[in-house]
Amino acid sequence: MTSEAPEEEFSIHWIRDVTEEVLKRNAAVYLISTGKSPSGSIHIGIMREIIIADVIKREILRTGNDARTMFVVDDYDPVRSFPPSVSLNLEDWVGIPYSEVVDEFGCCSSYGAHFANELIETFEAFGVNPEIIWTSKMNETPEMEDAVRICLKHTEVIRDIMIEYVANDFNEEQKEQYIESMKNWYPASVVCPKCGHLQAGAKGAITPNRITSYNPESDLVSFECHACGHSDEATLDKLRVKLVWRVDWPAKWHVLNVTCEPAGKDHSVKGGSYDTGLEVSRRVFDWPGPVKVPYEWVRIGGRDMSTSEGIVFTPRVWLSIAPPELYRYLLLKTDLTRAINIQPERIPDMIDEYERFERVYYGVEEANEIRRELAQLVYPLCLSGDLSPEYIPKLPFKFATVISQLADILGHEATLEKCEQALKKQYGLEKVPQEAKALIEPRLERALYWVREYGSERDRIEITEEVPQDVLSTLTDPDREFLAKVVEILRLEDQDEDSLQSAIFEAARGVGIKDRRAFVVIYRILISRKSGPRLAPFINTLGRGWVADRIASVL
Ligand SMILES: [Zn+2]
Ligand SMILES: [Zn+2]
């Protein structure tokens, strides 16, 4: 339990810095918002934002102030493209809000609801409980209609802001073109009452159904639909209108009264949509807008994830191989300016690291003063459930990866029994507490799933019903002599692992077989491979009787 794998440095100042910044707003209730467009399966990167918001909330609550979190589902956004996993015909749905696209899986009210729910269903496990806001519903409220009206009345100001921010790094020619194109531009589009489209054309060649004129006195809006050619005029309250992204965001901040919103680097880059939104907040909505908290992305195996390209590692996939607390831990200890790179094949090492950290918190593992203080600060924020007053021993994940693969041979009850024995031995327990027992089965499930999906050849153990013929043909006479002795040893009364291991080697030497060869011979018979987990513990896990019978079957 003292093995010190190299651990990355902690960088947790961001927690205090961000919380202090947010508290300066002196709000009655601090609202921390997050959001995502449900364009397909949402990858785990979004959980960075949602957990940052949750951590800020927990820290504010700790100061005795009131705080809430929100998750805004942008299901009023129109379809631009479908990820490869979706089989709907893009031409049928492009330009239509996600909230009005059919759920091809048949379980939810819409495409948007389906992919949002897939994410939302994991929130409890990750220890977050934001209020869910659906923009398709929010857009129908009088508050949002008022916000749209305010923006339309400020069209000139918004044009100036767009030119200032969007055309900022254009060359002279591009800039002139952009200014020209903005002359009759309005910051909103209309969902066509005839065909339901918000825009025409797919990604790269989109023409939105922009408002073509607005009269502030009569509140009359003109528009043209580029999907079906319909054009009309109506008062704002009779139409379904959506603001352009860079204006929609600050309008939502205004309506929801958002105090703080974290944002990934695509939005939070200097002069990007977040900064544009803050400028719109100041000059149109007459307030400073939320505290901007930029964060770097979460990468998977060194690659950026992308819903549209189908590079998706969802929170649900994470939960199938690792505890949610580990993800919170990785986030908490990493500065917001640094990317987090998840390497799924390293999950067992990361779990070991997190669980050492947990033991430091409970004082059941030695650590220096700095690490103890870190654990006091960070560990409670890692939890998705309640803080246990006492340490709950965890079955080592690496052991779980081995034994979970043997469950078919050992049987369910015997597997659990062996896990309990392992816990007792690891932590010197007389009896395994109920809370610890409850964690065994979920751990076995995760370990098995991890091995199957991400484990290396070395991690995988496959035991055939009978020893394969090609293994038998490799056995020499001295091998057989050696194996006969091993069967005798195994059928003797119990000995500890060290004695068992040395007895096996002595038997090998007795018949002139080298240690290395002895290993190979036994592993081949057990798992048809030249190597495997440490021999004596592995034999004990499989059961000495079972191993003795297996070896005897080849003699
Ligand atoms: Zn569904
Ligand atoms: Zn139309």
CA of 280 to the centre of ligand 1 (A): 36
* Ligand in nearest proximity to the CA of 112: 1
CA of 199 to the centre of ligand 2 (A): 9
325-379 pLDDT tens trace: 999 999 999 999 999 999 999 999 999 999 999 999 999 999 999 999 999 999 9
CA of 239 to the centre of ligand 2 (A): 13
CA of 375 to the centre of ligand 2 (A): 58
Helix 515-527 with 544-552: angle, nearest 10 deg: 90
CA of 111 to the centre of ligand 2 (A): 21
Phi and psi at residue 261, in whole multiples of 5°? -145, 120
CA of 197 to the centre of ligand 2 (A): 6
Which residue in this structure is represented by tokens 């505290």? 291
* Ligand in nearest proximity to the CA of 198: 2
User: How many CB atoms are located within 10 Å of the residue 103 CB?
Assistant: 16
Decide: helix, strand or coil at residue 269. coil
CA of 110 to the centre of ligand 1 (A): 7
* Ligand in nearest proximity to the CA of 104: 1
CA of 70 to the centre of ligand 1 (A): 22
* Ligand in nearest proximity to the CA of 225: 2
CA of 105 to the centre of ligand 1 (A): 5
CA of 328 to the centre of ligand 1 (A): 27
Phi and psi at residue 416, in whole multiples of 5°? -60, -40
pLDDT of residue 310: 65
Average pLDDT over residues 127-154: 98
DSSP codes of every residue in 1-57: -------PPP--HHHHHHHHHHHTT--SEEEEEEEE--SSSPPTHHHHHHHHHHHHH
CA of 198 to the centre of ligand 2 (A): 8
* Ligand in nearest proximity to the CA of 38: 1
Beta bridge partners of 30: 67
User: What share of the chain in percent tops pLDDT 90?
Assistant: 81
Task: Give the closest residue to 283 by CA, choosing from 145, 187, 216.
Answer: 187
DSSP state of 79: P
265 or 185, higher pLDDT? 185
CA of 401 to the centre of ligand 2 (A): 56
* Ligand in nearest proximity to the CA of 106: 1
CA dihedral (279, 284, 286, 291) positive or negative: negative
278-328 pLDDT tens trace: 999 999 999 999 999 999 999 988 888 776 666 689 999 999 999 999 999
Task: Give the closest residue to 133 by CA, choosing from 280, 273, 258, 276.
Answer: 258
CA of 114 to the centre of ligand 1 (A): 4
* Ligand in nearest proximity to the CA of 117: 1
Confirm if 118 and 42 have CB atoms less than 8 A apart.
yes
pLDDT of residue 3: 38
Whole-angstrom CA distances from 371 to 7, 516, 541 are 11, 41, 35
* Ligand in nearest proximity to the CA of 103: 1
* Ligand in nearest proximity to the CA of 105: 1
Confirm if 75 and 99 have CB atoms less than 8 A apart.
yes
CA dihedral (381, 386, 391, 393) positive or negative: negative
* Ligand in nearest proximity to the CA of 116: 1
CA of 121 to the centre of ligand 1 (A): 12
Dist. CA 525–CA 320, nearest whole Å: 32
Mean pLDDT of the chain, nearest integer: 93
| Tokens coding 406 | 């043997």
User: Does 417 have pLDDT greater than 70?
Assistant: yes
Dist. CA 253–CA 259, nearest whole Å: 8
Burial status of residue 511 (CB atoms within 10 A of its CB: 0-12, 13-18, 19 or more)? middle
CA of 104 to the centre of ligand 1 (A): 7
CA of 100 to the centre of ligand 1 (A): 13
pTM attached to this predicted model = 0.91
Confirm if 231 and 258 have CB atoms less than 8 A apart.
no
pLDDT of residue 190: 97
User: Does 493 have pLDDT greater than 80?
Assistant: no
Q: What is the distance in angstroms between the CA of the first residue and the CA of the last residue of the chain?
A: 40
CA of 180 to the centre of ligand 2 (A): 26
Burial status of residue 97 (CB atoms within 10 A of its CB: 0-12, 13-18, 19 or more)? buried
pLDDT of residue 308: 66
pLDDT of residue 44: 94
pLDDT of residue 4: 40
User: What share of the chain in percent tops pLDDT 70?
Assistant: 97
CA of 232 to the centre of ligand 2 (A): 10
User: Does 12 have pLDDT greater than 90?
Assistant: no
pLDDT of residue 5: 42
CA of 192 to the centre of ligand 2 (A): 5
502-530 pLDDT tens trace: 999 999 999 999 988 999 999 999 998 88
532-554 pLDDT tens trace: 888 888 898 888 889 999 999 98
Average pLDDT over residues 385-400: 95
Average pLDDT over residues 69-94: 95
Dist. CA 553–CA 555, nearest whole Å: 6
Task: Give the closest residue to 382 by CA, choosing from 23, 15, 4.
Answer: 15
184-195 pLDDT tens trace: 999 999 999 999
CA of 148 to the centre of ligand 2 (A): 21
pLDDT of residue 302: 81
DSSP codes of every residue in 402-464: HHGGGHHHH-HHHHHHHHHHHHHHHHT-SS--HHHHHTHHHHHHHHHHHHHHH--GGG-----
CA of 310 to the centre of ligand 2 (A): 30
CA of 276 to the centre of ligand 1 (A): 34
Phi and psi at residue 210, in whole multiples of 5°? -65, 150
pLDDT of residue 358: 97
pLDDT of residue 169: 85
CA dihedral (148, 149, 154, 156) positive or negative: positive
Residue type for 530, please? K
CA of 242 to the centre of ligand 2 (A): 15
pLDDT of residue 1: 36
CA of 34 to the centre of ligand 1 (A): 22
Helix 155-166 with 172-181: angle, nearest 10 deg: 160
* Ligand in nearest proximity to the CA of 224: 2
* Ligand in nearest proximity to the CA of 120: 1
CA of 87 to the centre of ligand 2 (A): 24
